[in-house]
Amino acid sequence: MSFGIMRATLAKDLRLEWRSKDAINAMLFFALLVVVIFSFSFDPTAEESRRIAGGLIWVAFLFAAIVALNQTWARELRNQVLDAYRVSPAPANSLFLAKALGNFIFVTVLEALMTPLFIVFYNLRALGPAYQLFIVAALGTWALVVNGTFFAAMSLRTRSREIMLPLLLFPITIPALLAMVEATSSILTGEYSARFWMVLLVAYDVVFTMASLFLFELVLQAE
């Protein structure tokens, strides 16, 4: 696990993304689409919107995350970077962590841009402890991104790659999705404590981060 390599790869990805803004634009488009369309189809009262907003917000962020994840390895694949990486003595999980962190940053930026829109469109005001929303957002985003980056690597040499990623990702992330949505709803409605869901998200993140770091070497060699 080499942090130097991780930092270098991450910096490279961030710089490339900043220059082209490929991923961010696509993500923004999809998230916006979800917000606007749902806003038309429901015209909820403040009370109702607090109940359903949790699910809607995470659907929007999930679509955006999938867009980001699908292009994670595209650049590497085009330029035979993966082959180079395989022969180099650099540990595989540095590359993985760099990619995962890059995706995490992209999706978090998107969430930061979209959240004010959600608050405006759905007249949201958290009745529970609002600071917990940041924690849930961070934990939930990492859950999506860590498994997503891993499965994106696994789907590299499959036909219908764009379908394979969501297909693999969705069942595995069901507990995390449930936790994210329920935690957000609990905090917004203030009806329940979100503590259990946050603990579950922490457990989920720990388990799958370790599993990904441990097994990524196999996946990289398997391409």
Interface positions with another protein (CB under 8 A): 147, 150, 154-160, 164, 167-168, 170-172, 174-176, 178-179, 182, 192, 196-197, 200, 203-204, 207-208, 211, 215, 218-219, 221-223
Q: What is the DSSP letter of 64?
A: H
Which of 165, 216, 203, 6 is closest to 90 using CA atoms? 6
Residue 169 CB, shortest distance to another protein, in Å, is 9
CB of 67 or CB of 169, closer to another protein: 169
Three-state DSSP class for residue 44: coil
CB of 121 or CB of 192, closer to another protein: 192
CB of 10 or CB of 144, closer to another protein: 144
Residue 137 CB, shortest distance to another protein, in Å, is 18
Residue 88 CB, shortest distance to another protein, in Å, is 19
CB of 12 or CB of 129, closer to another protein: 129
Residue 21 CB, shortest distance to another protein, in Å, is 31
CB burial string 88-127: b at 16+ within 10 A, e below: eebbbbbbbbbbbbbbbbbbbbbbeebeeebeebbebebe
Residue 168 CB, shortest distance to another protein, in Å, is 5
Q: What is the DSSP letter of 9?
A: H
Paired tokens of 120: 């405006």
Greatest distance between any 2 Cα atoms in the chain:
58
CB of 27 or CB of 103, closer to another protein: 103
CB of 36 or CB of 210, closer to another protein: 210
Return all residues near 46 (Cβ < 8 A) that are at least 6 apart. 123, 125
Residue 86 CB, shortest distance to another protein, in Å, is 12
| Chain mean position to CA 171 | 15
Which residue reads 């080499």 in tokens? 2
Residue 159 CB, shortest distance to another protein, in Å, is 5
Handedness of CA 105, 108, 112, 118 (dihedral sign): positive
CB of 130 or CB of 218, closer to another protein: 218
**H-helix or E-strand spanning residue 13:** helix 3-20
